[in-house]
Every structure is written in structure tokens, then in C-alpha cells.
């Protein structure tokens, strides 16, 4: 079932990227630059 494994991996990657995008992009849109500074400070 290589096809099923590949599909599961793709779904997991898409979900991870979606969560990352929601966490980083949406707060920066709402809050502005303060969120960006917090992210840089955490790195």
C-alpha cells in the first residue's frame, strides 16, 4: 500500500503546514508587527 502511505504523508504535511500558516500568518495580520518581533525573539 505505498500509495496509501504517500497519501497519508501528504495529508500530514499539509496539515502541519496549515497549522504553521494559521499560527504565524493570522496573528501577524491581526496584531501587526508585535507578533513578528515575538517570533524573532523566540528564535
Distances (CA, A) of 14 to 6, 22, 31, 37, 43: 12, 12, 25, 26, 23
3-state secondary structure of 43: coil
Q: What is the mean pLDDT of each run of 10 residues along the chain (43 residues)?
A: 88 93 78 61 69
Q: Where are the domains of the chain?
A: 2-42
- CB 34, CB 27: distance < 8 Å: no
Alpha-carbon Rg for the chain in angstroms = 15
- CB 17, CB 25: distance < 8 Å: no
**pTM of the prediction?**
0.47
Q: What is the pLDDT of residue 37?
A: 62
> Which phi and psi (to 5°) does residue 19 adopt?
-65, -40
Amino acid at each position: 500500500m505505498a500509495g496509501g502511505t504517500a497519501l497519508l504523508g501528504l495529508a500530514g504535511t499539509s496539515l502541519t503546514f496549515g497549522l504553521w500558516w494559521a499560527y504565524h500568518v493570522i496573528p501577524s495580520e491581526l496584531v501587526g508587527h508585535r507578533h513578528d518581533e515575538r517570533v524573532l525573539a523566540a528564535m
